[in-house]
Structure 1
Amino acid sequence: MRALVAPAAGAAGFVLLWWLATVLRLADPVLLPSPWETLLATREGFAQGPLLHDLVRTVLRTVQAFVIATAIGVPLGIALGARERIYRAVEFVVDFFRSTPASALFPLFLILFGVGEGTKIAVAAFGAALVILFNAAYGVINARRTRVLAARVMGAGETRILWDVLLWEALPQILVGMRAGISLALVIVVVAEMFIGSTDGLGQRVIVAQSLFESGLMYGVIFLAGAVGYLLNLSFLILEKRFVHWAGR
């Protein structure tokens, strides 16, 4: 409970500042509704509108993209990290595309996959896979050499060292990459829903609400997307603390 006090206080302070801004009319009420009006509009979106469907679609796309990214990024990152010279040879390509804004790649993925569901998932999976691959490779590369040498002295082969030493040494860094990857996948999915011919999803709902001047719903959807990202990040933090308790030891 004590751990929840600081986040709750921060959230309450944010809502209070928002409410004061609306009371003092620092912005047009049409553009900046009160927290209560935003809450009512969001509740109405769930009760009478397609907001629940939009939320489910965004989460499903994010999870699909993340699963694909993990299936590609983790084994490829481990394999490259175990052969550091090969990784150094492709490091520029990985870093280049990892640093390229995903929105700049939309035209390329539209050409490859067309306008449809696959494009949103593919571009999000691509962006997340690079982050996961990068962290997995560096987790293996930075594994403690003393443990690797100890395993070799005891007669372990390269395959045994990879699975019994390097993988466990790299697991904390891999989970860090997965946590960053799922957050990035959510961001890319929401942006893709805004601009790649989508008929549902939180990103599309933000654009529709903005075009109809439904500011309360627009802010509600934005905060809803933020809440999804926060919960996904928190879930991975809990997993890290529970299952990789040896990290840093």
Structure 2
Amino acid sequence: MPFAVSKTTAARVRRASELAVGPILLFGVWWLAARGGWVNRDLLPSPVDTLRDTAANIWSGSMTEDFWSTLVRVGYSIAIAIIAGVPIGIVLGAKATVYRSVEFIIDFFRSTPATAMFPLFLLLFGLGDLAKVAVAAFAAWLVIVFNVAYGVMNARQTRILAARSMGASSLRIFRDVIFFETLPQTFIGLRTAVSLALVVIIVAEMFIGATDGMGHRIIDAQISYSLTDMYGSILIAGAMGYGLNLILLFLERSVIHWSGK
């Protein structure tokens, strides 16, 4: 037993070391670039100064308020996209002919940059938060619809046929077989949708009349030449996206523990 415990501990230490390589490498390259003058020092503050000022901004609460404003907007947009996207994706995926009839529309708008839709959503919803959430929700909705429909259409036919051979009804097959078969693809779409929604919200906060949020903070710091604040805000925005992805990965592994089996 002690050997098993020490082996588990060693594995955890090795995993932690592997995860630490990326941040250490980023910090090292950044420090060398700033210290060695690879980039104009007036344009690239040292990582130490950036992290120190970022910690001070978090401690004072100013960055925390912007962080939560952006996170709430992303949350609203994803909630709308899930509520509207999952049922439609299921309906479209259940019948291949139905999906093919609207495939062009879905693929066309999914391939259109979400930022190109800003003027349209500004005309429809004005300059407030509603426009920002709406355009992010629309972009995320398209990704979720596509992935859910794809997951339904590509459910394992062997399991569906096995359920039918045992006399299961269509509703029972959908509830007990197809629904669970589509969850892996649904989570893939959800992770992609969250990342896309965050990008759209950040850009919208930069250019669509925002008074708070990480996007507004980044562009405001750039205009006022507060570079440590700008770089720190970029790091925090990236940490938000990374954290959301980790949460979804944890949920996926907890809920879909049978994936690939």
Common fold, TM-score beyond 0.5? yes
Unaligned runs of 5+ in 2: 1-11
Q: Which has the higher contact order (CA 8 A, sep 6+)?
A: 1
SS in structure 1 at match of 2:149: helix
The amino acid that maps onto 2:18 is: A
2:186 aligned to which of 170, 174, 192: 174
**TM-score under structure 1 normalisation?**
0.97
Tell me the residue number matched to 1:146: 158
Rounded to whole Å, the distance in 2 between the matches of 1:75 and 1:214 is 46
Rounded to whole Å, the distance in 2 between the matches of 1:158 and 1:16 is 58
Tell me the residue number matched to 2:211: 199
1:103 aligns with 2:115: yes
| Alignment check: 8 A CA contact 1:82 1:162 kept | no
Tell me the residue number matched to 1:22: 34
The amino acid that maps onto 1:73 is: G
Rounded to whole Å, the distance in 2 between the matches of 1:102 and 1:184 is 9
Matches within 5 A, 1:118-137: 118-137=130-149
Compare 151-160 and 63-72 and name the one that shifted more.
151-160
User: How many Å apart are 1:49 and its aligned residue?
Assistant: 6.1
SS in structure 1 at match of 2:108: helix
The amino acid that maps onto 1:162 is: F
2:21 aligned to which of 3, 6, 9: 9
Tell me the residue number matched to 2:86: 74
Rounded to whole Å, the distance in 1 between the matches of 2:92 and 2:240 is 32
Rounded to whole Å, the distance in 2 between the matches of 1:10 and 1:48 is 28
Rounded to whole Å, the distance in 1 between the matches of 2:16 and 2:74 is 27
Rounded to whole Å, the distance in 2 between the matches of 1:51 and 1:5 is 29
**TM-score under structure 2 normalisation?**
0.92
Tell me the residue number matched to 2:224: 212
The amino acid that maps onto 1:99 is: S
Tell me the residue number matched to 1:40: 52
| Alignment check: 8 A CA contact 1:115 1:197 kept | yes
The amino acid that maps onto 1:75 is: P
Compare 46-55 and 228-237 and name the one that shifted more.
46-55
Tell me the residue number matched to 2:5: none
User: How many Å apart are 1:194 and its aligned residue?
Assistant: 0.5
| Alignment check: 8 A CA contact 1:30 1:213 kept | no
Tell me the residue number matched to 2:248: 236
Report the number of matched residues.
Answer: 249
User: How many Å apart are 1:191 and its aligned residue?
Assistant: 0.7
Q: Deviations over 1:41-86 (max 9, x none)?
A: 2123223462111000000100111111111111111111111110
Instruction: Give the 4+ runs in structure 1 shifted more than 3 A.
Output: none
The amino acid that maps onto 1:201 is: G
1:227 aligns with 2:203: no
The amino acid that maps onto 2:128 is: G
RMSD of aligned Cα (Å): 1.2
Tell me the residue number matched to 1:94: 106
The amino acid that maps onto 1:14 is: L
The amino acid that maps onto 2:38 is: L
Rounded to whole Å, the distance in 1 between the matches of 2:172 and 2:78 is 28
The amino acid that maps onto 1:156 is: A
The amino acid that maps onto 2:216 is: Q
Rounded to whole Å, the distance in 2 between the matches of 1:143 and 1:48 is 51
SS in structure 1 at match of 2:78: helix
Tell me the residue number matched to 2:4: none
Rounded to whole Å, the distance in 1 between the matches of 2:202 and 2:19 is 25
